[in-house]
Chains A and B, each alone.
Chain A
Amino acid sequence: MAVVTEAGQADLREPAGWRRTKNRIATVFMVISFVVVIIPLGFVLYTVIAKGASAISWSFLTSPIPVNVAPANVGGIGPAVLGTIEITALATVIAVPLGVLGAIYLNEYGGNNLLARFIGFMADVMTGVPSIVMGLFIFSIFVLHFGFSGLAGALALGCLMLPVVIRSTDEMLKLVPNSLREGSYALGASKARVTLTVVLPAAIGGIVSGALLAVARAAGETAPLLFTILTVTTANTNVFSGPNTSLPSQIFANATSPYTGAQARGWGAALTLIAIAFILMIAARFVTARFARYQR
């Protein structure tokens, strides 16, 4: 452990002993953990691509859904792609503005008052509600009165997205330094001005990417759709009325059918869904970078 060797030179090597061993053990443990995490993810991707890639083509993405007994090379999942886009878009329109406005209230206006704390608490509770319970909730208060529709599915997905959007937006608004708010107030801005022209622009990148991640998650939800859209095989361009279909619920229906053709189409649909989620993630990254233009 000599710091200076006999020759008078400084010994700058890492000292041997227990400390070095501990460091090695920790490093090895971290690498192993990483590999363990990556393996199942890799298998999922590999399986879906291996079984689904052969099915994917433009006509597969746009053709109508055939009967389950049809062989693998017949038809496609067009109505499900259409349904997923319709329902997810409507859910986004419902949940994102509400969630962002709710978070603005929590962070900018509510402060520490009772209502704000109650809303924050309820948002946390809502995050923990199982998605199938959301589906049942919309089934009982909406579907029983108005029937199955894309709107019902969008409401269920919106209920799932809302707490996620509130929390992610809230976190982003908390990151906006108070000195920016003060700078704006000192120029004679009202609270609404400060929020609209300084706080939101400073946080918009994070808000948008948080919202896109919530959208990507909602697009893959199956359980809330099972009781709300009925999962038919025909295309329905009217999202507000009539039974609809979607990729996740279609995958569920195909995967539980005994016909190999239907199962193959299910794999293709699974790969399509992963691709949609992936595109949304990339978009989130891109949007964050775009909005971060003036951040440095």
Chain B
Amino acid sequence: MEQPEQNVAAQTGMPKQDVAARTEMPKPAALQDVGGREFAAPSDQVIFDVRDVAVWYSSFKAVTGVTMNIHENEITAFIGSSGSGKSTMLRSFNRMNDLIPGARLEGEMAYRGEQLYAKDVSPIAVRRRIGMVFQKPNPFPKSIYDNVAYGPRINGERKKGKLDEIVESSLRKAALWDEVKNRLNTSGLSLSGGQAQRLCIARTIAVEPDVVLMDEPASALDPIATGAIEDLMKELKQQYTIIVVTHNMQQATRVSDRTAFFYVLTDTKSDTRTGVLVEYGPTEQIFQDPADERTKAYVTGRMG
């Protein structure tokens, strides 16, 4: 089902690079050149291999039967209604669920060939490589500088010059530098919602992670701030792999390369709700030609 898409990607990869070299070519034109397939997968390198994963909170099965490959340097979007297990699944990728008493994972989850949930794997080491941006901006009650320098510092970076460099480059990547460069010593809590979220993104990329997980990063922001975050995501995927949970389907179509649709199964007998992965594929296919009726109902707005 994915095979044709990847072929397209392989074909379009070359002309895309040519276009990038000739800078005078405006970007939208370049995107039209590939026949509206601007979101076609640029890479087929698998970074996460998820097999038949189920996540439990004590005796409650939050999500089950998830099998998917996450690809490197792509944005993968998780969509679906509330309670369908998107966030639970997202938090499994960097073992954030370990922090919730009673949470456990069944199945296999490999990151670059290593089992994430093997006995000798340290969640701390996992999270240093797989960062996370939360739904609600959560800057620490420290200065803007200290917020960004926090990650490098806990990783042992002490040199002032090096820290200055990391802080500036991270804030630049997060498109926040120009707004805060003259007040790096003011509190991170003094920023507006959109700025605070970009600060959190800068903080996450300051540790140079491999993967960035985003849990509805723009749901608390206005459309302009949302646009800034989305542009940022597209920018960041050159260097990072991004998985994003979103309730906003336009956002999924705008930014993501692949989309996974989650759905809640309700067991009327025991009145339990469990999330399942219904369909996963290139974003275009999910939105334009979904294989499953439930996906179709959801993306066309007839449900959820």
Which residues of chain A have C-beta atoms less than 8 A from B77's C-beta? none
Give chain A nearest CB distance to B304 CB in angstroms: 26
When the two chains form their complex, are residues B154 and A189 in contact, meaning their CB atoms are under 8 A apart?
yes
Which of chain B's residues have a CB closer than 8 A to the CB of A187? 127-128, 131, 150-151, 154, 203-204, 207
Q: How far is the CA of A253 from the CA of B162 in the complex (A)?
A: 64
Query: For residue B213, which residue of chain A has the nearest CB?
Result: A186
* Given contacts A183-B200, A188-B127, A197-B150, A177 and B189 within 8 Å (CB-CB): no
Chain B residues with CB below 8 A from A184, complex form: 140, 150
Q: B99 in the interface, Cβ–Cβ < 8 Å? A: yes
List of 6 A-B pairs having minimum Cβ-Cβ separation, nearest first: A188-B128, A186-B132, A179-B138, A294-B187, A187-B151, A188-B127
Q: Is A296 an interface residue (CB 8 A)?
A: yes
Q: Is the CB of A183 within 8 A of B138?
A: yes
Known: A189-B124, A190-B124. A294 touches B141 (CB 8 A): yes
Known: A111-B101, A197-B154, A201-B142. Contact between A185 and B127, CB under 8 A?
yes
Within 8 A of B (CB), among A169-228: 177, 179-190, 193, 197-198, 201-202
* A294 adjacent to B204 (CB under 8 Å): no
Partner of B204, one of A181, A186, A189: A186
Q: Once the chains bind, are B134 and A183 in contact (CB under 8 Å)?
A: yes
For B58, the chain A residues whose CB sits under 8 A away are none
Nearest B residue (CB) for A111: B101
Contact flags A127-168 to B (C-beta < 8 A → 1, else 0): 000000000000000000000000000000000000000000
Q: How far is the CA of A190 from the CA of B153 in the complex (A)?
A: 13
Give, as a whole number of angstroms, the nearest-CB distance from A166 to chain B: 23
Task: Name the distance in Å between A111's Cβ and chain B's nearest Cβ.
Answer: 7
A19 CB-CB contact with B under 8 Å: no
Q: Which of B134, B136, B140, B154 contacts A202 (CB 8 A)?
A: B140
The residues in A between 257 and 296 inclusive whose CB is less than 8 angstroms from any CB of B are: 293-296
B76 within 8 A of A: no
Q: Contact: A180 with B189, CB < 8 Å?
A: no
For the complex formed, measure the closest distance between the CB of A294 and the CB atoms of chain B, giving whole angstroms: 4
Which residues of the partner chain A approach B188 to less than 8 Å between Cβ atoms? 294
Listed A/B pairs (14) with beta-carbon separation below 8 Å: A179-B136, A182-B132, A182-B134, A186-B94, A186-B132, A186-B204, A187-B150, A187-B204, A188-B128, A188-B129, A201-B142, A294-B142, A295-B187, A296-B189
Q: How far is the CB of A174 from chain B (nearest CB, A)?
A: 16
Contact A296 B127 (CB under 8 A): no
Q: Does B142 contact A185, Cβ atoms closer than 8 Å?
A: no
Residue of B nearest to A196 (CB): B154
Q: Which residues of B contact A111 (CB under 8 A)?
A: 101
- A294 in contact with B132 (CB, 8 Å): no
Chain B residues, Cβ within 8 Å of A190? 124
Encode A16-52 as 1/0 by CB contact (under 8 A) with B: 0000000000000000000000000000000000000
Contact with A along B161-198 (1 / 0, CB 8 A): 00000000000000000000000000111100000000
Smallest CB separation, B35 vs chain A (Å): 39
Q: Given contacts A186-B132, A187-B207, A188-B127, are A295 and B155 in contact (CB under 8 A)?
A: no
CB distance from B142 to the nearest CB of A (A): 6
- Residue B125 at the chain A interface, CB threshold 8 Å: yes
Q: Are A185 and B141 in contact (CB under 8 A)?
A: no
| Chain B residue, CB-CB nearest to A294 | B187
- Is residue B143 contacting chain A, with contact meaning CB distance below 8 A? yes
| B53 at the binding interface (Cβ < 8 Å) | no
Q: Quick check: is B96 within 8 A (CB to CB) of the other chain?
A: yes
Q: Which residues of B contact A193 (CB under 8 A)?
A: 154
Partner of B138 from the list A182, A197, A294, A296 (CB cut-off 8 Å) is A182
Complex Cα gap A186–B136 (Å): 14
- Write out the residue numbers on chain B whose beta carbons fall within 8 Å of the beta carbon of A185: 96, 99, 127
